[in-house]
Chains A and B, each alone.
Chain A
Amino acid sequence: MSTAAAARERFLKRRSFIELSARARARALLDADTFRELLGPFERLKSPWLPLQGVVTQADDGVVIARGLIAGKPAVIAAIEGRYQGGSIGEVSGSKIAGALELALRDCERGAPVRPVLLLETGGVRLQEANLGLAAITEIHAAIIALRRHVPVVAVVGGIVGCFGGMSLAAALCSTLIVSRHARLGMNGPEVIEQEAGVAELDAGDRALIWSLMGGEQRYATGFADALVEDDIDAISAEVRQAFVQPPAAARTEQVERFVERLARIDMQQPPTPQLLRGLWSRADLP
């Protein structure tokens, strides 16, 4: 078979992560037939704040919490639905994630480890819920830090929304971060930067530029992500399983000196191009 034909065959066989709903992603990453949803849509645990502002709610508030097995071991997956309100984190959706992680922590502390996986596709806090969403995000941060002392906390950023705001910090706090080339990871999203600082600062419509700055490939090359995968359930599933077998020696956020030293290499008068940054901040520098 020619290389092109083989590539075509691979592409056709691939099961896209992007094309699946949050619920289907969680189901696909758990061992077959082990998916069990907690606080599913029929519990109708939804945002009390959105209807007051004339916004239609979704019955699960855009977050799917699923228990099941990963490589035969108990696991919990929190999957954000990026198509609902940009995957934004409100009081309820954020509390669902924080609660799932806190329960996993409790299980770990009593000697029954649970493997936590976050499927992050989110613009960050839900602006309509402001501080309540932010408070939930801080609870998620605290739970990740507490939990990663017991078990690797694994995050996947593979959707088209990307992962921004306070939830990009959650991604950075995880023991292992898996990204696809389609992913974007950053504190402020490009639209926000353009809106606040002007199109001269950043043209949010320039896709090549945006991905060269905050795309999955760049984040991997500069050591902000641990694995770069295709948009393929099987590839992501394999990396998730690997992350529990071979966790990193130290979380990124524990390596403060190393990252401060990295920052010192940047000449703010002459900011590096994305390509030069790959040389300055090579992932080879990291353990």
Chain B
Amino acid sequence: MERLSFTYPAHESLTRRAHVGVVGSGDLEVLLEPSSDPHAHVSVTTSVDGFAAVWKNVLDRFFSRFHGAALIEINDFGATPGVVMLRLEQAAEALRA
């Protein structure tokens, strides 16, 4: 198990929160809440060690489109980068719904 943290600048304030996914095989859970500062803070707990660079790539790409000031908690159980991106997009969509 490994814990990783990332911070990104953000300029859209949020009012809602979103929860998607499950900590099941090949899947992950995303909890997204408003952040009080103009940043997005991501804390990842993953069952698979040694993939910090891949996490950074996926999150860099997500935050090139998402600018919400959010606290994002990710609990991962071996999801592939594609699944991680889909769950993040799903959480962002749930904010808009």
Would you give the shortest CB distance from B95 to chain A, in whole angstroms? 14
Per-position 1/0 for B19-54, Cβ under 8 A of A: 100111101010101000000000001110000000
Interface string of A57-87 (1 = CB under 8 A from B): 1110000000000000000000001011100
Contact (Cβ within 8 A) A55 B33: no
> Which range holds the interface residue count of chain A?
10 to 19
Determine the chain A residues whose CB is within 8 A of the CB of B46 once the complex forms: 56
Of B7-15, B62-70, B72-80, B82-90, the one contacting chain A is B72-80
* Interface pair B47/A55, CB less than 8 Å apart: yes
- With both beta carbons as reference points, the residue of chain A lying nearest to B46 in the complex is identified as A56
Q: Are B19 and A58 in contact (CB under 8 A)?
A: no
Bound CA–CA A59/B43 (angstroms): 13
Chain A nearest Cβ from B82, distance in angstroms: 18
Chain B residues, Cβ within 8 Å of A85? 23
Instruction: Decide: A41 and B22 in contact? CB cutoff 8 A.
Output: no
Contact B23 A57, beta carbon cutoff 8 Å:
yes
Interface residue? A40 (CB, 8 A): yes
**Closest chain B residue to A85, Cβ basis:** B23
- In the assembled complex, A16 has its CB within 8 A of some CB on chain B: no
Contact of B29 with A41 in the complex, beta carbons under 8 Å: yes
Do A41 and B19 touch (CB < 8 A)? yes
**Docked complex: A112-126 residues within 8 A CB-CB of B:** none
B31 surroundings in chain A (CB, below 8 A): 41-42, 59
Instruction: Provide the bound-state CA to CA distance between A36 and B42, in Å.
Output: 28
Chain B: residues with Cβ within 8 Å of the partner, total of 18
Contact assessment for B23 and A84 in the assembled complex, using a CB-CB cutoff below 8 Å: yes
Q: Complex: how many Å from CA A54 to CA B3?
A: 11
CB nearest to A40 among chain B residues: B19
Chain A positions within 8 Å of B47 at CB level: 55-56
Distance, CA A67 to CA B28, complexed state (A): 26
- Asked whether B25 lies within 8 Å of A59 as measured between CB atoms, the reply is no
Closest 7 CB pairs of A and B: A83-B24, A58-B23, A54-B1, A41-B19, A83-B22, A56-B47, A84-B23
Write the residues of chain B forming the contact surface with A, with a CB cutoff of 8 angstroms: 1, 17, 19, 22-25, 27, 29, 31, 33, 45-47, 73, 75-77
Q: Which residues of A contact B (CB under 8 A)?
A: 21, 40-42, 51, 54-59, 81, 83-85
